[in-house]
Amino acid sequence: MTLRRVSVELNGRLVEATVEPRLLLSDFIRHDAGLTGTHVGCEHGVCGACTVQLDGAPVRSCLLFAVQANGRSIRTVESLAAANGDLHPLQQAFHESHALQCGFCTPGFLMTLEAVFRETDVTALADREIRELLAGHLCRCTGYQNIVRAVRLAGERMRA
């Protein structure tokens, strides 16, 4: 199988490697770039744990090949906190709302929500609509209730 050289902008830094075309982007992020905050829960696009942003849009990294990210920009959970360590309002809201237990699904949720918050005024949404936004991510620990609370809390703070 012919190897390919890829150059991917990951959280603002260029990561280069020579890879098999079949290498999944999720594995490239986790093992070639060493960013293990993105998790693998199913490898068929359902659970959402592997969600990252491709040019700002949330996508399943388990359904992309690393070669497809060549020349593109990827953002993962490690990019959310500020350089000085200050948490993104979403991270802070998750923490204060007890919106995570085992934490395995959390990075995926955060990467989807960060994009949602850029495009939508969450404070205008009903609970049902927030739950629909969250439905692309499975969580087995929290029962989602506190995640809804975290979204509300972050929404209020980010609007202020």
Partner 1 sequence: MPRKEDLPHLTGTARFVGDVELPGMLHARIVRSPLAHARISSIGTGEALAQPGVAAVLTADDLPPATPPIPTRMFSQPGLERFLQQPLARDTVRYSGEPVAVVVAASRYVAEDAAELVELELEPLEPVLAVERALEPEAPVLHEEAGTNVAGSFVVEHGDIDAAFAAAALVVEERLAVQRHAAVPLEPRGLVANLDESGVVTVLGAAKIPHVNRRILAQLLGWPEARVRLVELHVGGGFGARGEFYPEDFLVPYCAVRLGRPVSWIEDRAEHLRACNHSREQVHELALALDGNGRFLGLRDRLLNDSGAYVRTHGLVVPGMGAALLPGPYRWPAYRCEVSHVVTCKTPAGTYRSPGRYEANFARERLIDVAAHRLGLDPVELRRRNLVPPTGMPYASGTNTDGHPVVYDSGDYPLLLEKACRRFDWDGLRRWRHERPGDGRRRGLGLAFFVEKSGIARWEYARVELSGSGAATVYSGSASMGQGVETVLAQVCADALGVAFEDVTVVHGDTASIPDGMGAFGSRAATLGGSAVHLAAESLRTRVREQGAPAPGETLSADARFESEDMTFPYGVHVAAVEVDVETGRVDIHRYGVAYDVGRALNPTLVEGQIVGGVAQGVGGALLEELVYDERGQLLSASFVDYLLPTAVEVPPVDVLITEDAPTPRNPLGAKGAGEGGAAAAGAAVANAVADALGVEVTRLPLSPERVVALAGGRT
Partner 2 sequence: MKPPPFEYDDPRRLDEALALLAEHGAEAKVLAGGQSLVPLLNFRLARPRRLIDVNGLGELDYLRFENGTLRIGALTRQAALERSSETAQRVPLLTRAVRFVGHPQIRNRGTVGGSVAHADPAAELPAALSALDARYRLRTRSGERVVASEELFLAARTTALAPDELLVEVEVDVPGPATGSAFVEFSRRYGGAALAGAAVLVTLDGSGACERARIGLLAAGPTPVRAREAEVWLRGATIDAATAAEAGARAAAGVTPPGDIHGSSDYRRALVETMVTRALLEAVARA
Footprint of partner 2 on this chain (CB under 8 A)? 1-2, 4, 20-22, 24, 27, 43-45, 48, 51, 54, 57-60, 62-65, 67-68, 112, 132-133, 135-136
Query: Residues for the chain: how many in total?
Result: 160
Q: Which of 130, 126, 124, 123 is nearest to 109 (CA)?
A: 130
Residue 19 or 100: the one with the smaller Cβ distance to partner 2 is: 19
134 binds partner 1 (CB under 8 A): yes
**Minimum gap (Å) between residue 71 Cβ and partner 2:** 10
Question: 72 Cβ partners below 8 Å, 6+ apart?
Answer: 8, 9, 54, 55
Residues 49, 35: Cα–Cα separation, whole Å = 14
**Minimum gap (Å) between residue 60 Cβ and partner 2:** 6
Residues 73, 71: Cα–Cα separation, whole Å = 7
Residues 122, 151: Cα–Cα separation, whole Å = 8
56 binds partner 1 (CB under 8 A): no
Q: Which one of partner 2, partner 1, none interacts with residue 60, CB within 5 to 8 A by kind?
A: partner 2
125 binds partner 1 (CB under 8 A): no
Residues 42, 86: Cα–Cα separation, whole Å = 31
Residue recorded with tokens 């959390």: 106
113 binds partner 1 (CB under 8 A): no
Positions touching partner 1 (CB under 8 A) are: 20, 22-23, 30-31, 34-44, 46-47, 49, 76-78, 80-81, 87, 91, 94-96, 98, 100-107, 110, 127-128, 130-132, 134-148
